[in-house]
Amino acid sequence: MHDALLADFDAGRKAALARAISIVENHRKGYDRLLGALHPRVGHARRVGITGPPGAGKSSITVCLAQGYRAQGLTVGIVCVDPTSPFTGGALIGDRIRMEDIALDPGVYIRSLATRGSLGGLSAATREVCDVLDAFGIDRILIETVGVGQSELDVARTADTTLVVLVPESGDSIQTLKAGLMEIADVFVVNKADRPGADRLRTEIELMLGMRPGAVMSDGAGHHGVDLSRNNLARHVREAAAGDETRWTPPVLRTTATDGTGIAELSDALDRHYGYLESSGQLRARRRARLRERVVDVVDDTTRRRLWTDAATAAWLEERLPDLEAGRETPFAIADALLARSADLLTGRTT
């Protein structure tokens, strides 16, 4: 049904790209066949996830990186993932204006994704939209997550490389960041590095990473020192013993995105990480894991759609609600009975 669209897509028409993304993002009719048709072409683009606290300069860094890639003749896709917080939604207008500057470049494609339903759904939607950009032949995809929760970090992790942007002000709360960030960051950036505290933050991150042999750091200024836990030390020793090919210690870089300082070095670090992923076999492993997750997402979506758009199932459930309300039935017993009668529906025999 999307033959004309696919022909335009193959011809590299940006309008076809925009339409394909809309169909996929909103799960319009036939989106699955469209994604299926594009699937064999996916795998060329390098995907970089960019995350960090509000105000760290993620958008500025995204724009700088995009400009650098364009200078190298590469095409760029930017996916802004915005879990539309009703309480913080207004803060981003300045960033959006900066984005509009590069949006005029025909080699740049920008798309914002907002939360629809759960954030789990958002991370699936991000992967799907990135697949469309990838299939279109885009060289570099930058996935910027605006939110600050664990689930937004999960979105960033749909990328090949995850960049965590911090600012000197982040230092105070770095203790609480520790676990989550250590797990996901492939590259750290201390942005606004001309401000006081940039060096200290960099040192703290490096201590957390076990890159520095110092024990407990204390500057006597009310900051809690960072202790090298035994876990970290063990990891450090283990990684130091392994060959360079199987080891990646996240570099901690400094940038000032407003004047472009440090962006070339950052871009190099991202390339180096990609090289590490390729040579270590990690790239294949990560992409295979992503494909496995894709199938799981599609299966879960499909079971939900088959069950909850079925009128007979809805009517059956509605009939049982009075017993549930009265406490004569439990949600678990009804769920079991519902599944027991839904074999044809779930396996697709009736659709």
Interacting residues with a second copy between 98 and 137 (CB under 8 A): 115, 117-120
Name residues contacting a second copy, limited to 147-166 (CB under 8 A).
147-151, 153
- Asked if 6 interacts with a second copy (CB under 8 A), we say no
Name residues contacting a second copy, limited to 309-338 (CB under 8 A).
317-318, 320-321, 324-325, 327-328, 330-336, 338
Name residues contacting a second copy, limited to 21-40 (CB under 8 A).
32-33, 35-36, 39-40
- Asked if 86 interacts with a second copy (CB under 8 A), we say yes
Question: To the nearest whole angstrom, how small is the minimum distance from the Cβ of residue 126 to a second copy?
Answer: 14
Long-range CB pairs of 282-291 (<8 Å, 24+ gap) are 282/248, 283/160, 286/160, 287/43, 287/160, 290/127, 290/158
For tokens 């049982």, name the residue: 320
Nearer to a second copy, 105 or 337 (CB): 337
- Asked if 97 interacts with a second copy (CB under 8 A), we say no
Name residues contacting a second copy, limited to 165-194 (CB under 8 A).
170, 172-173, 175-177, 179-181
Q: What is the spatial distance between Cα 270 and Cα 248, in angstroms, rounded to a whole number?
A: 12
Residues 6 or more apart whose Cβ sits within 8 Å of residue 19: 5
| Whole-number Cα distances in Å, 15 to 9, 19, 57, 287 | 8, 6, 30, 28
- Asked if 243 interacts with a second copy (CB under 8 A), we say no
Long-range CB pairs of 264-269 (<8 Å, 24+ gap) are 264/68, 266/61, 266/65, 266/163, 266/187, 266/189, 267/65, 267/68, 267/69, 269/187
Nearer to a second copy, 254 or 290 (CB): 290
Name residues contacting a second copy, limited to 262-301 (CB under 8 A).
284, 287-288, 291-292, 294-300
Total binding residues for a second copy by CB under 8 A?
A: 83
Nearer to a second copy, 44 or 247 (CB): 44
Contact between residue 12 and residue 137 where contact means Cβ atoms under 8 Å apart: yes
